[in-house]
Amino acid sequence: MTLRGLPLALVGTILLAGCGGSGEPAPQASATAEAPAPTPPDATPQPQKPPVVADYPVLSNKDCEEVIEFYFDSITDREFAVAALVWNDPSVDAAHLQAAYSPYQMAEFDWQEPETEGAAGSLYCTVAATLTDADDRSRPSVDGTVVLKRVNDVPGATPDQLRWTIRSSTFVENPEDAQQRQP
């Protein structure tokens, strides 16, 4: 078959038919087909609701070990707003924790069995730990402690008083302490 002298459109159709095409025209998109709805120009992403203690039942756990594990896991997962819920200090928020742990590509804690002791209606839980960077083994490890406190089932205590909260950590500087040291 010679294609000379045939209109160019006809040549294209013949060539396509020879390539396994059915020769039928491709179906046209229906005008009634549902297209994705356009995004309104004024649509802005809704701010994410900040985490609250009630969203995490583990924070009401009477076992200090469960709470410290939750805290360390939150730091490792870079969920700083969630980790801040364990603190009982409004100056230690997500931004403060992020600043403290941002030098670590992946903060990892190796911690020992917590030591719990009572004093005047309160319980204190001290956890010795070693902080390393799981993704940067050249970074030196840091040894420290985290101290948690809760009211020891005193009648009339609020749920917030009955839960373990961090009172201090050698891994995170309390902003008030830092201000006192400044000249």
Give 128-174 pLDDT, tens digit per residue: 999 999 999 999 999 999 999 999 988 999 999 999 999 999 999 76
pLDDT attached to residue 181: 38
Give 54-108 pLDDT, tens digit per residue: 999 999 999 999 999 999 999 999 999 999 999 989 999 999 999 999 999 999 9
CB atoms within 10 A of CB 14: 13
Assign a CATH topology to domain 53-173: Nuclear Transport Factor 2; Chain: A, (3.10.450)
| Pairing verdict, β 115-119 and 165-169 | unpaired
The type of residue at 149 is K
pLDDT attached to residue 36: 57
Annotated domain spans of the chain: 53-173
Contacts 24+ apart (CB under 8 A), 125-130: 125/64, 125/68, 125/149, 125/150, 125/164, 127/64, 127/68, 129/72, 129/171
Contact 122, 146 (CB under 8 A): no
Q: How far apart are CA 60 and CA 66, in angstroms?
A: 10
Handedness of CA 76, 77, 82, 84 (dihedral sign): positive
Which residues partner with 111 through β-bridges? 129
